[in-house]
Amino acid sequence: MGEMSTKRTAATRSWTRTQSRLGRQQARPAILAGLCGCIASLLQAWCVALILAAGLSGAGQHRLLLEALAGFVAAALARAALQAAGEILASRAGIAARRRLRGEALQGMIQAGPALLRDRHSGAIAALLVDRIEAVDGFFARWLPSATLAMAAPALVLAVAWLVQPYAALVLFCCGLAVPVMQAVFGIGAAAASRRQFQALSRLQVTFVDRVRGIATLVLAGRTEDEAQRLAIAAAELRRRTMRVLRVAFLSSAGLDCALAVALVAIALHDGGRLLHAAVSPAPGSAPSLSVNRALFVLLLVPEFFAPLRSFALAYQDRMQAGACAEALAWLPQAASSAPPDSPARPVAVAGVTVTLQDVRYGWSEARGRVLDGLSFSAAPGETVLLSGPSGAGKSTVIELLLGFIEPQAGRILIDGIDLREMAPAQRAGMIGWIGQNPMLFAGSLRENILFGRPDADTAALQRALAVAALDDLVAALPDGLETRIGEGGYGVSGGQAQRVAIARAALHGAPLLLLDEPTAHLDPDTERSILASLRELARDRTVVMATHALEAQSLAGRRIELRPAEHAAPPEAADAIPPMPRPLPAMVEPQPAMANPLAATVDRGVV
C-alpha cells in the first residue's frame, strides 16, 4: 500500500514536471506581458512620485510635470492593455494545454478499449475526460505564469529600487526573502495536512453526491433523516479539522502580510527620518525635492514588489488540483505515438470466413484462475457455432477474445489462417460484426445510430439493413422516421428496439464474421422470438459464433459447443509458487472455512 502510494506520487511528480516543461513554453507570452506590465508600473510610479514631490515642494517645472502626467497616462494605457493581453494569452495557454491533454487521453482510451470499463464506471471515465481535464486549466493558465513572474517581477522591482534607494532595496530584499522562509516554516507541515484535508473534503463531496443519487433508495428505506444527520455531523467534524489545519496554513499568508507591513513601515520611518533631518537642518548643496521624489517612489514600489508573490500564493491551489488530475490520468495507458488507423477497411469476403481457436488459454486474474484452459474449435465459412454452458464457463470470454478486446495468454486465434494479433485494428473491425447483450445507443438520431455500422452506406443499403432488423415498420410508424432523436443513454427505446438497432448496424456493417453475445438475455419471450428470427436472417451466408443461454440455443440451428467451468479455479502453477507451509500442530489442523473455497484461499495467501 505504502509502496503503491509512493509509486503514485512519483508518477504524479514526473507528470507535473513534464507538463510544466510543455506548459511553460506556452506560458511564455503571458509571462512576457506580465514583465512588460511590471516595467510600465515602475514608470508610472516614477511619474507619480515626481508629481507628488512637486506638489509638496510647490516648485517644479510645469512643462516637466505635464510630461510626467502624460507619461502616467501612457503607462496606464499600456498596463491596461498588457494586463488584458496577459489574461487572454493565459486563457489561450490553458486552452492549448487542455486540448493537448484531452487529445492524449482520448487516444489512450480508444487504444485501451473496453478493458477500461472493467474496473471503472463509464461515468468516471467521462468525468476524467471532461471535469478532470477542465480542472487542470488553472495550472497552465495561472500557476505556470505566476510561478515565473513571482521570481522575475520582484527581481526587476528590486533592481530598480537598488538604483534609486539602496536602503529600501535592502529592506525589500530581506522582507521578500522572509516570504519563502516563512512559507517553509508554516507551510510545509500545513501543506501536507491541507492536502489530506483537501482529500477529506472531496471525499465528503463524493459521499454527498452518492447519497443524493441514491435518495430514492434512502427514502424508501425510511432512512433520510438519519443520513441527513450523519451528513451534518460529518460536515461539522470535517470543519473542525479543516479549521485546525487552516489556523496554521493561514500563518503563511499572514507571513506575506507581515513582510509587506514591515517593509512599508520600515521604509516610511527610515526615509521619513532622513527627509525630516534634511528639512530641519538642510545640508548645503543638496536637492531635497529629488530625495522626496525618490522616497515616494520606493514607497510606491512596496505593493508592486509584493503583488506577484501574492498571486503566486493564490495560484497554489491550481497546482494542487493539477496533482489530482495527474493521479486520475496516471491509470490511463499511455497513448502510443502512432494515431489509430482511420475507418475500417471494407470486408473482402462476404460469404464467411474460417475461424479457428487453437489451444486457447485465458484467465481474468491470477486469483480466479483460468476460465479457458486449452479451448480448440473451428467454424467453417457460413457455419453457426453455439457456445453454451453456465455463467462463468467462459462464453463471453471467447467472444471478447475474438473481438480482440483481450488477447489469449496461450494458444492462437486464426481468421482465415491469419493470426488475430497480426491484424491491424481496422482490418479486424472490417471482418467482424458484433451484437452484445445491451447495445449502446449514442445520443443522436436513429439514422446516425444505424449508420454507425458504416457511415458511408447509401440509402438502398440502409433500407436493406432496416428490413433485416425488422425495423422498417417501426420507422414508418414514427412521426420523424429515421430522424427520431434518441436521448442520452438511449431514452425512449425499449430493449427489443435497441437490439434491432444493433442488428441493423451489424447488417449494414456487412462483416463476414458475426459474434453474438447472448443477444436476447434481457428480453421477454415474445420479443426474444422475433429478435431471433431477425438474427437468423442476418446469419445467412455468414460465419457466426454465438454465446447462448438455453432458450436461444433451442431456436437457432447450428453446431453446439458446451463449455464447462474450469473445475480447479486456482491454477496449479499458483499453488506451486507458494512455499510449503511448516506442518501445523495437529490441534490446529481444522478445516478452515476459507479452504472450502479455493478463490478465498488464494486471496488470503495473496494478502499474507
Partner 1 sequence: MKPLLPPLLAILRLWRPRFPALGAGILVSLVALASGLALLSLSGLRLAGSALGLLLASGLLLRGLGLGRVVLRYLERLMTHAATFQALADLRVWFFRRIAVSAAGGLGFRRTGDVLGRLVGDVEALDGLYLRLLVPLSGVLLTLPLLALVIGARSVSLALPVCLLFVAVALLLPWLAARASTRAGVPLAEAQSGLRVASLDLAAGLREIVAFGAGARIAEIVREREGRLLVAQHSLARNGAAAGAVSFLCGQAAVLLVLAAAIGFGLPRISGLAAVLSLFLLLACFESVSGLVRAGVLAGSMAQSARRVLEAGAATGPVAGPTPPVPQASMRPTPPADATLRLEDVGYRWSADRPPVFDGLSLAIPAGARVALLGPSGAGKSTLASLLLRVVAPQSGRITYGGVDVTGLDVAGLRRQIAWLSQSTHLFDDTIRANLLLAAPDADDAALWTALEQARIAEFVRSLPDQLDEWLGENGAGVSGGQGRRLALARTLLSPASVLILDEPCAGLDSDTERAFLSTLFEVAAGRTVILIAHRLTGVERLDRVWRLQQGRAVPAA
Question: Among residue numbers 418 through 457, which ones bind partner 1 (CB under 8 A)?
Answer: 425-426, 428-430, 432-434, 436, 439-440, 442-443, 452-453, 455
User: What are the beta bridge partners of residue 418?
Assistant: 415
Nearer to partner 1, 442 or 562 (CB): 442
The residue within the footprint of partner 1, chosen from 215, 349, 478, 578 (CB under 8 A), is: 215
Quickly list DSSP for 406-448.
S--SEEEEEETTEEGGGS-HHHHHHHEEEE-SS----SEEHHH
Q: What are the start-end ranges of the E strands in 224-336? A: none
Rounded to 5 degrees, what angle do the CA atoms 264, 66, 79 make? 55
Cβ-proximal residues to 518 (8 Å cutoff; 6+ apart), any chain = 395, 396, 437, 547, 548, 549, 552
Nearer to partner 1, 10 or 254 (CB): 254
Nearer to partner 1, 10 or 276 (CB): 276
Using CB under 8 A as the binding criterion, the count of chain residues that bind partner 1 stands at 162
Q: How far is the CB of 175 from partner 1 (least distance, A)?
A: 12
Contact 19, 322 (CB under 8 A): yes
The residue within the footprint of partner 1, chosen from 21, 63, 121, 583 (CB under 8 A), is: 121
The residue within the footprint of partner 1, chosen from 3, 119, 473, 576 (CB under 8 A), is: 119
Q: How far is the CB of 195 from partner 1 (least distance, A)?
A: 17
Contact 503, 531 (CB under 8 A): yes
Nearer to partner 1, 5 or 582 (CB): 5
Copy the grid coordinates of residue 342: 482511420
In angstroms, rounded to a whole number, what is the distance separating the alpha carbons of residues 319 and 550? Answer: 56
The residue within the footprint of partner 1, chosen from 166, 340, 481, 572 (CB under 8 A), is: 340
- Other Cβ atoms closer than 10 A to 136: 27
Distances (CA, A) of 365 to 119, 517, 580: 13, 21, 23
| Start-end of H helices in 165-214 | 166-213
Judged by CB under 8 A, the chain residues 81 through 100 that form the site for partner 1 are 81, 83-85, 87-88, 91-92, 95, 98-99
Q: Single out the segment in contact with partner 1 by CB under 8 A; choices: 112-120, 161-169, 351-359, 531-539.
A: 112-120
Q: Check residue 478 for interaction with partner 1 (CB under 8 A).
A: no
The residue within the footprint of partner 1, chosen from 8, 24, 195, 211 (CB under 8 A), is: 211
The residue within the footprint of partner 1, chosen from 32, 36, 164, 288 (CB under 8 A), is: 288
In angstroms, rounded to a whole number, what is the distance separating the alpha carbons of residues 187 and 574? Answer: 49
Distances (CA, A) of 308 to 246, 297, 512: 23, 18, 65
The residue within the footprint of partner 1, chosen from 3, 21, 210, 588 (CB under 8 A), is: 210
Copy the grid coordinates of residue 32: 512576457
Nearer to partner 1, 192 or 228 (CB): 228
Judged by CB under 8 A, the chain residues 236 through 265 that form the site for partner 1 are 236, 238-239, 242-243, 246-247, 250-251, 253-254, 257-258, 261-262, 264-265
Rounded to 5 degrees, what angle do the CA atoms 221, 222, 224 make? 110
Judged by CB under 8 A, the chain residues 20 through 79 that form the site for partner 1 are 48, 51-58, 60, 62, 65-66, 69, 72-73, 76-77, 79
Q: Check residue 586 for interaction with partner 1 (CB under 8 A).
A: no
Q: How far is the CB of 14 from partner 1 (least distance, A)?
A: 26
Judged by CB under 8 A, the chain residues 125 through 154 that form the site for partner 1 are 125-126, 129-130
Q: How far is the CB of 34 from partner 1 (least distance, A)?
A: 13
Alpha carbon distance, N-terminus to C-terminus of the chain: 13
